[in-house]
Structure 1
Amino acid sequence: MRWQGRRGSRNIEDRRRMSGGRAGGIGIGGLLAILAIGYFLGVDVTPMLTGGPGIGTSGGGELTEADRRAGEFVSVTLADTEEIWAEIFSRELGQRYEPATLVLFKAATQSPCGGASGATGPFYCPLDRKAYLDTQFFTTLAQRLEAKGDFAAAYVVAHEIAHHVQNELGILGEANKIRQGSSEAQSNAISVRIELQADCLSGVWARHAGERFGSLEPGDIGEAMNAARQIGDDTLQRNAGRRPMPHTFTHGTSEQRQRWFAQGYESGSVAACDTFSANAL
Structure 2
Amino acid sequence: MKIALVGLGRTGKIVAEYLLQQGVLSMVLCRPNSINAHKDIGELLDLKDTGIIVETSDHLESKLFQCQPDILIDFSCTSFLADNIHIIEKCGVSVITAVTGYEAIELEKLKNVAQRGNIGIVVAPNITYGVNVLLAMTEIMAELMSDYDFDIYEEHHKYKKDSPSGTAKKIADKIQETLVLNEKIPIHAIRAGGIVGKHKVIVSGEFDQIEVSHQSYSRKAFAQGAYKVALFLFGKTGFYEMSDVFEQEKEKRRHILAAHKIKEDIRLNLA
What TM-score comes out, normalization by structure 1 length?
0.25
Higher helix share goes to which structure?
1
Larger gyration radius, structure 1 or structure 2: 2
What TM-score comes out, normalization by structure 2 length?
0.25
